[in-house]
Amino acid sequence: MSLASYFKKRSVTTNQEKQSLFICDRNSLFHGGLDNEDHTILYSGDVKKALHFYIKAFGLKCEFVHENLNLAELTNGWCRIVSTGVNRELTNLTLLTPNIHHTFNQALTVGAISVQTPNKSSSGDLFALIRDTNGFLIELIQED
């Protein structure tokens, strides 16, 4: 089973069609139930800049922005959030994309740093690795 198929199945079987990505000010006290598997929190020094990056790079949809701009919630857009960490030591975020080359190039255009260009894994999955504007590692996987 490819990684893309696994993550798609995982989303359905764990009832996680609405995965959320929260971007929170690094100095905030918001912890928002970190044990939940339906969301992840990325801590950023500039929530507005991070919000802009994730919307422009991956087409994620902004569901909520706190009036002080210290917290924002993003949900699936043309990329789907499928695998995330659950604490301040987030190691990587995985997104499924219908077109990995477009997504990879779009992310670079808005400030991502290339770690691994789109490439086939030994299991046959097309994947790429980038770092976002905060330095978080993002794994992109081409949907089946």
77 exposed, middle or buried (CB, 10 Å; 0-12, 13-18, 19+)? middle
Whole-angstrom Cα distance, residue 46 to residue 56?
Answer: 16
Whole-angstrom Cα distance, residue 89 to residue 99?
Answer: 29
Residue 58's H or E segment, with its range, is helix 47-58
pLDDT 10s digits, 20-55: 787 877 776 555 544 455 667 788 888 889 999 999
- DSSP character for 3? H
For residues 81 and 95, the answer to whether their CB atoms sit within 8 Å is yes
pLDDT 10s digits, 121-141: 888 889 999 999 988 889 999
- DSSP character for 60? P
- Residue 96's CB is within 10 A of a number of other CB atoms, namely 24
The yes or no reply on domain 3-142 and CATH 2.40.30.10 is no
DSSP 3-state of 131: strand
DSSP 3-state of 19: coil
pLDDT above 70 (res 7) = no
pLDDT 10s digits, 62-106: 888 876 767 888 888 888 877 655 444 555 788 999 999 999 999
Q: Which of 121, 140, 27, 129 is nearest to 82 (CA)?
A: 140
Tokens standing for 80? Answer: 């789907």
- DSSP character for 70? S
pTM of the model: 0.78
